Structure 1
Amino acid sequence: MLNADWKHFKSGTDIRGVASAGAPDGQPIDLTDETIEKMTAGFVLWLAAKTGTAPQNQTVSVGHDSRISAARIEAAVLRALTGAGCRVLRCGLASTPSMFMTTVDLGCTGAVQITASHHPFFRNGLKFFTREGGLEGSEIEQILEHAQNGDTPPALQGTSETVDYMAQYSARLRKMIQDGVKAADYAHPLTGFHIVVDAGNGAGGFYAKDVLEPLGADVTGSQFLEPDGMFPNHIPNPENEEAMKSVCAAVMQSHADLGVIFDTDVDRGGAVDHRGREINRNRLVALASAIALENAPGGTVVTDSVTSDGLKTYIEDVLGGKQRRFKRGYKNVIDEALRLNKAGVDCPLAIETSGHAAMRENYFLDDGAYLVTKIIIKTAVLRRQGKALEDLFAALPEPEEAAEVRLPILAEDFRTAGEAVLESLRNCAAHQPHWHLVPDNCEGVRISFDERAGDGWALLRLSVHDPILPLNMESNIAGGAAMIASQLYVNLRTHTDIDASPLETFIAND
């Protein structure tokens, strides 16, 4: 069992902690060199047991995003790996998806990516891969148990070499576009296209310089391509409102045909159409579904739980596919897609509204650059047909209002307290004449409200990682979200284990 000192490093299927000074409330650095070395040694032991490959026969790739703590943590990881006899491939600044691909293209036994995704500059962490994909939460616990117990492989002398794998990864994406667009000028299929890239000062600047420009695209107006681990311009996160406003403005100012945006380590992406309108969340899911189902007619798309009612209508009635609405968390939707395919269900796509998208044709790897590449190919093909990208999801029914309110859980045992709140709301909903419990939801409590109660839906669930109850609401009428929130507040305000004041504020300000 993990004690509290080690358990707090587990963040779903990743390891995360404080790696640099500057954290609020003076949080101390807990991702120390010693801690990182112990975790890496734990990975070596876990990898040996998982693959049957002794440490001295393991080849492990190591990459990192642009965070200011990357060099220090990389050095600690390298010491642990070479000290166990491993052959190490140093990939330097790299995207998280590319590190998985080293297990495919370079035959690596395992891979380590140093990143904390979109989290603040003072945090960092570790993601691990094998040829089978990212690790499960239980496997992260096994690695941390090794670290906690001080387990280490026998001391041997390994080797370390620098590899420019990102060049190979970029070449693969370029060839995808060349083969997918099938332009008369095969080498320059994006000639005449103006595409703005926003990398948020993370690891995604390569996409403009090494993927798009060599194919003939005009990338003027692209922004924040240079890595800067302090993220001085905006949070590198396609879900962040400020980030999306920034890239939308850049598209409009540059009169570009398309804009794309990545998170710090490029496992998520979003897009912007030529009018400066966001293509993220439900629109991104709709677009990715339309692309994926072209080669899998009638197939099933796995999404997270917070997708809109309109998206289900679009996937099933417009595209002719099926939607499997599943639990929030990118690994959850990916694992469900893998399970469905294994059971004989044709499932080409697993996607979260956060921008994590994993396609079966790409090893079910959540790769923002791969998704954006598929979108660019589709844009070019549609242009030849005299159509625009937004025509593809024009039939997506969209709500009049959408909102998210996050309710803190005050109890120390936040999961038990949160489940009690959910059960109370579930019982309440069963007795309301204009509320209807949605039967096919896989987490939390999803309620449909008829026209007399707000004409929309709400989902209250437990956060994947934090002591929070996120409440997502959508309505088809103006003022409907506040109407739905007011009804839910009658129940939620009675619970002393949660702070309902954010909901009060939302109702008052809406």
Structure 2
Amino acid sequence: MIMDYRKLQNGSDIRGIAIEGIEGEHVNLTNEAVYDLARAFLTFIREKHSKKDCRISIGHDSRLSADSLCHSIMDGLIFDGAQVLDCSLASTPSMFMSCIFEEYDCDGAIMVTASHLPFNRNGMKFFDKDGGLNKEDIARIIEIANTQSFIHENNGSCTKANLMDTYSRHLQEIIKEGVNAPDHEHPLKGLHIVVDAGNGAGGFYVEKVLKPLGANVEGSQFLEPDGHFPNHIPNPEDKEAMDSICQAVVKHKADLGIIFDTDVDRSSAVDSHGKPISRNAIIALAAMLVKKDHAGTTIVTDSVTSDELHDFLNTHGLKHHRFKRGYKNVINEAIRLNEAGIDCQLAIETSGHAALKENYFLDDGAYLATKIVIEAAKTPVDELIKDLKYPLEEKELRFKINAEDFQDYGDQVLDSLKEFVAKQPNMEPAKDNYEGYRVCFDHGWFLLRKSLHDPILPCNIESTKEGGCKEIANTMYPFMVQFEKLDLASLRQFIE
């Protein structure tokens, strides 16, 4: 009996458990599931583009389950008559570029990854020539798989492809043009860059991009792919991961540090002093790089960005448009603004997902790193954001919703919050609320919102004064305790 593949949808991706090992979790991203979903993707591409003969590229990150799942995916595609390009270990952005590079000219691409999730998880990201698929597209693919409504053709084939070599040369050329050094072949000579790949797929950036261009990469770490992720979570938002790359930069007296997530669609940086450039700071840096050619452009971010970042962007003549969390949400909003006649060159999340209009609005960690490297070859990157201020305190609390209809219950909480805030003299709703409800105080703010997929209400708090986050949390508490189906343990623990 075929499982209901709707359980595997995670927004615009497929995510599931691919390996047994964690108590209470059972494998649902099976070889059979990815076989069917791959066939459904091929059918989707044929329907969308009215095309029978299709070329589909397949790549994966360093996860332990990658080889087995990729074999099943390729089996499904070959069975239904696709010309498959096996790209082996790759980055997510490079898979999209296989649809752009003329020598590959793929009609679609599948990346097998679950980003920074635990080792036993895996998933699928889908692309065609228009970019990453949206959640509505994923729903259609699942519908095809669930109903087994595949378009079958004969004469499928599989060919090995050196996509990462092509992609790396592409990034090299961007650096050469951007730095424009006298030594054109080695424009990064004299620049010391430490890279942390987190044992994911990002090691190529050292070996195939930076070293050939003359950079000193001494001290780069965790470049070997290892799906056990033995050193730290491959996630620029993880404190341990950022502490590790910061220490490496200081130890080796580097000019710059770069850190990638598992599949290299996210990155953050470290300045020469060992200070992290992540979350709000990576947005500020990316915005300043974009400003060089696009003064006054609009920057779309996720909803949890700080007031200090907002002021920084405004001070530098840029417009700040806060939107919903989720990399596809900010990307699609940026595309929508451009279509409406509003110039928007950058869509970026605090997580490190950054998509530039000049790069197909593709969230590409290596592309952002390349833009940063070009700047670092000319001047210390921290100079660009030296006037960015930071909140004194920040805190994230997560409230589990113990209700079967957790989406509706979350909406009830947020609707009630609006009524509560309207009666409080010391609270004011933010001007724009695209996601959840952001409430402003004279020394900070909180944002209560629904998780994109889980039965959780995350609450982000920032304050400009000592003890301010706890003060704001105490103000929230009388409201939150009205809702019996919310687990407020984290809130109680914080304010005690």
| TM-score, normalised with respect to structure 1 | 0.95
Q: Cα RMSD (Å) of the superposition?
A: 1.1
**Does residue 461 of structure 1 match 2:449?**
yes
Q: CA deviation at 1:108?
A: 0.4
> Is contact 2:256-2:270 (8 Å) kept?
yes
Structure 1 distance, partners of 2:212, 2:22, is 40
Structure 2 distance, partners of 1:193, 1:353, is 27
Structure 2 distance, partners of 1:36, 1:436, is 48
Q: Which residue of 1 aligns with 2:326?
A: 329
**Does residue 399 of structure 1 match 2:396?**
no
Structure 2 distance, partners of 1:72, 1:288, is 37
SS at match of 1:348: strand
SS at match of 1:487: helix
Q: CA deviation at 1:155?
A: 4.9
Structure 2 distance, partners of 1:22, 1:202, is 20
Task: Read off the aligned partner of 2:71 and give its amino acid letter.
Answer: A
Structure 1 residues 4, 61: CA separation in 2 closer, same or farther (over 3 Å shift)? closer
Moved over 3 A (4+): none
Q: Which residue of 2 aligns with 1:34?
A: 32
Structure 1 residues 216, 163: CA separation in 2 closer, same or farther (over 3 Å shift)? same
- Per-residue displacement from partner, 1:452-500 (whole Å, max 9, x unpaired)? xxx1011010011111111111101111111011111121122112111
Q: CA deviation at 1:502?
A: 0.6
Q: CA deviation at 1:82?
A: 0.6
Q: Match for 2:474 among 470, 486, 500?
A: 486
> Is contact 2:5-2:33 (8 Å) kept?
no
> Is contact 2:258-2:269 (8 Å) kept?
yes
> Is contact 1:311-1:397 (8 Å) kept?
yes
Q: CA deviation at 1:91?
A: 0.4
Q: Match for 2:423 among 431, 439, 450?
A: 431
Q: Which residue of 1 aligns with 2:115?
A: 117
Q: Which residue of 2 aligns with 1:9?
A: 8
Q: Match for 2:186 among 172, 184, 188?
A: 188
SS at match of 1:63: strand
Instruction: Please give the residue correspondences for 1:79-478 in structure 2 after superposition, counting only pairs within 5 Å.
Output: 79-105=75-101, 106-317=104-315, 319-382=316-379, 388-450=380-442, 455-478=443-466
SS at match of 2:457: strand
Q: Match for 1:61 among 53, 57, 60?
A: 57
- Per-residue displacement from partner, 1:368-426 (whole Å, max 9, x unpaired)? 000011011111122xxxxx211111111211111111111111111111111111111
SS at match of 2:42: helix
Task: Read off the aligned partner of 2:449 and give its amino acid letter.
Answer: R
Structure 2 distance, partners of 1:23, 1:146, is 31
Q: CA deviation at 1:47?
A: 0.8
Task: Read off the aligned partner of 1:323 and give its amino acid letter.
Answer: H
SS at match of 2:399: strand
Structure 2 distance, partners of 1:7, 1:409, is 21
**Larger mean Cα displacement after TM superposition, 262-271 or 489-498:** 489-498
Q: Which residue of 2 aligns with 1:21?
A: 20
**Does residue 502 of structure 1 match 2:490?**
yes
Aligned residues: 493
Q: CA deviation at 1:143?
A: 0.6
> Is contact 1:41-1:151 (8 Å) kept?
no
SS at match of 1:104: coil
Q: CA deviation at 1:187?
A: 1.0
Task: Read off the aligned partner of 2:208 and give its amino acid letter.
Answer: D
> 5+ unaligned residues in a row in structure 2: which ranges?
none
Q: Which residue of 2 aligns with 1:74?
A: 70
| TM-score, normalised with respect to structure 2 | 0.98
Structure 2 distance, partners of 1:290, 1:390, is 11
Q: CA deviation at 1:441?
A: 2.1
Task: Read off the aligned partner of 2:175 and give its amino acid letter.
Answer: I
Q: CA deviation at 1:11?
A: 0.4
Percent identity, aligned pairs only, is: 50
